[in-house]
């Protein structure tokens, strides 16, 4: 929205200023003053006035950055003494999940509101996976990640016991031996690929060959290769020169609504929440095609998943809508007759004119299960295709936080030091005790996040010169397969 409101002159001004972005145009979280990109002080220039105008329009239309809301929250608390007591009475039990990624200013607000005798405040999180808590130069929280008295939760259902045993040495909290309720597959060949300068570009192909041999699902989201950093030298693109950190793999976007229902992909994807989210996105696309918007004050805007859910609850159509989406997930592709009935119901629930051409085209019936015809390939730049045709997604460790894969390959990268070289002793269990040093702790958290993604196969790649022979021997004793590339 902001980008379309700035003038050509302002656009040229921002382009000439290094690190000046329209997305930095916001209210300062601490002072409440406007932060205007390209300007350190107030100005009478046309570009400054244009940017202030855009900022005011955004705020008047009700669009805010998350960071801005912390300023408004602080002002609300200061100006209305009843707010805190009311919140504590309304929310006497508070559960905060993913606490490890909470930053200090967020933690301070939580404590100001709920850290008292009147509220039962329970925090959950894994400090060993705290890779976002200092993003944007912000200070990380200390009341949780730095708390040595946390009650440990050592069990997991996501990855199997053999992977749990291999990564427990990466814990900076010293959680000890991880316990998995998921049975390991027999003799899973968890592999460390050791390459030379000349063979580094062959690592991804060797990984794909292993996936082929194991019969792991041949879809890019099922197997991923990730590294800590990207830049020039010692980074992800040295494994695959076509890697472009400015591009990412987007959520598959069917060209017809029924293609989100009929794809063969549903037969192998176990995550119903992911399926539901994709279908919901398709419904939002349908609303846009039908020109259906919601009113917010004097303005109109496209529905979001949240606002559509609220609207359907108000109209009493939410349960029917959920039932329709659930039937598509559970029952798969319907007959053409049933599909037409379902579309008629959907249009009625959403208040869409079914005679509009864009709507009719989007709801057309198709029995095609050809993935190549279904998915828009835009944004697929970081997909590596092997000689056998297998595809794997390439990205950073931060990009896969919270995901689960069938197989994950962790690529050694360099940020002043090589991460896998620095942590090889922890993987081999030749190094015990607390992990010390800020850089090493950062590496350990990132590697722990990456290595805990797969539910079947974990692989790593490092330079032969950086994994010493005695460490290789210990790695093999820990069940790793060492493969020279």
Q: Which of 279, 258, 284 is nearest to 374 (CA)?
A: 258
Q: Can you give the pLDDT at residue 268? A: 45
pLDDT at 116 over 60: yes
Looking at the DSSP bridge assignments, the partners of residue 375 are 254
Q: Can you give the pLDDT at residue 410? A: 93
CATH class of 156-250+378-484: alpha beta
Q: Please name the residues in contact with 129: beta carbons below 8 A apart, sequence gap of 6 or more.
A: 100, 401, 445, 448, 449, 452
CA distance 160 to 181: 7
Residues constituting the chain: 485
**Residue 50 and residue 21 in contact, taking contact as beta carbons nearer than 8 Å:** no
Q: Can you give the pLDDT at residue 372? A: 45
Domain boundaries, given as residue ranges, for the chain: 8-67, 80-147, 156-250+378-484, 257-374
Residue 144: pLDDT band with limits 50, 70, 90: confident
pTM score, two decimals? 0.63
Residue 248: pLDDT band with limits 50, 70, 90: low
Looking at the DSSP bridge assignments, the partners of residue 482 are 192
**Cα radius of gyration (the chain):** 26
Between strands 405-411 and 454-463, the pairing is parallel
CA distance 384 to 225: 9
Residue with tokens 């989210």: 277
pLDDT at 375 over 50: no
Residue 374: pLDDT band with limits 50, 70, 90: very low
Average pLDDT rounded to a whole number, residues 337-343 = 91
Query: What is the percent of the chain with per-residue pLDDT over 90, rounded to a whole number?
Result: 30
**Residue 67 and residue 29 in contact, taking contact as beta carbons nearer than 8 Å:** yes
Q: Can you give the pLDDT at residue 182? A: 65
CA 94 to chain centre: 25
CA distance 392 to 225: 7
CB atoms under 10 Å from CB of 444, counted, come to 22
Between strands 34-35 and 26-27, the pairing is antiparallel
Residue with tokens 């939410």: 318
Average pLDDT rounded to a whole number, residues 393-408 = 85
Q: Can you give the pLDDT at residue 267? A: 46
Query: What is the percent of the chain with per-residue pLDDT over 70, rounded to a whole number?
Result: 85
Lowest mean pLDDT among 153-162, 291-300, 457-466: 153-162
Range with the largest mean pLDDT of 111-125, 266-280, 298-312: 111-125
Q: Can you give the pLDDT at residue 181? A: 60
DSSP letters for 320-356 = HHHHHHHHHHHH-SPPHHHHHHHHHHHHHHHT--TTS
Helix-strand-coil percent breakdown of the chain, rounded to 5?
45, 15, 40
Residue 271: pLDDT band with limits 50, 70, 90: low
């Amino acid at each position: 929205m902001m980008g379309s409101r700035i003038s050509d002159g302002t656009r040229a001004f921002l382009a000439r200023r290094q690190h000046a972005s329209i997305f930095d145009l916001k209210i300062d979280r601490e002072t409440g003053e406007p932060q205007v990109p390209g300007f350190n002080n107030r100005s009478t220039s046309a570009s400054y006035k244009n940017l202030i105008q855009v900022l005011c329009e955004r705020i008047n239309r009700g669009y805010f950055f998350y960071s801005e809301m912390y300023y408004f929250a602080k002002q609300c608390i200061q100006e209305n003494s009843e707010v805190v007591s009311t919140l504590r009475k309304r929310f006497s039990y508070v559960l905060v999940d993913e606490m490890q990624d909470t930053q200090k200013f967020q933690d301070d607000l939580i404590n100001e509101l709920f850290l008292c005798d009147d509220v039962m405040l329970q925090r959950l999180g894994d400090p060993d996976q705290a890779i976002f808590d200092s993003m944007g130069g912000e200070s990380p929280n200390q009341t949780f990640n730095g708390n040595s008295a946390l009650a440990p939760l050592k069990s997991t259902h996501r990855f199997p016991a053999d992977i749990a045993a291999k990564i427990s040495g990466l814990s900076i909290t010293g959680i000890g031996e991880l316990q998995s309720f998921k049975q390991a597959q027999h003799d899973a060949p968890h592999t460390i690929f050791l390459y030379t300068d000349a063979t580094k570009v062959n690592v991804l192909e060797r990984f794909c060959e292993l996936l082929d041999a194991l019969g792991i699902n041949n879809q890019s989201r099922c197997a991923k290769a990730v590294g800590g950093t990207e830049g020039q030298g010692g980074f992800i693109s040295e494994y695959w020169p076509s890697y472009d950190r400015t591009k990412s793999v987007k959520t598959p976007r069917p060209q017809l609504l029924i293609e989100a229902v009929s794809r063969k992909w549903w037969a192998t994807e176990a995550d119903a929440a992911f399926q539901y989210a994709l279908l919901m996105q398709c419904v939002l696309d349908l609303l846009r095609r039908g020109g259906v918007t919601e009113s917010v004050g004097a303005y109109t805007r496209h529905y979001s998943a949240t606002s559509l859910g609220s609207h359907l609850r108000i109209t009493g159509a939410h349960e029917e809508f959920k039932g329709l989406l659930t039937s598509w997930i559970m029952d798969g592709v319907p007959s053409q007759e049933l599909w037409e009935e379902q579309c008629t119901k959907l249009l009625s629930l959403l208040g869409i004119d079914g005679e509009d051409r864009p709507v009719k085209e989007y709801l057309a019936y198709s029995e095609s299960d050809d993935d190549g015809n279904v998915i828009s390939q835009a944004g697929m730049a970081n997909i590596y295709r092997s000689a056998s045709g297998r595809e794997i997604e390439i990205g950073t460790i931060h990009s896969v936080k919270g995901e689960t894969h069938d197989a994950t390959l962790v690529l050694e990268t360099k940020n002043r030091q090589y991460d896998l070289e620095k942590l090889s002793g922890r993987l081999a269990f030749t190094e015990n005790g607390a992990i010390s040093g800020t850089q090493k702790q950062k590496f350990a958290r990132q590697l722990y996040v990456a290595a805990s993604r797969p539910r079947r196969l974990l692989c790593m790649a490092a330079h032969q010169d950086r994994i010493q022979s005695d460490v290789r021997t210990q790695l093999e004793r820990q069940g790793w397969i060492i493969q020279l590339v």
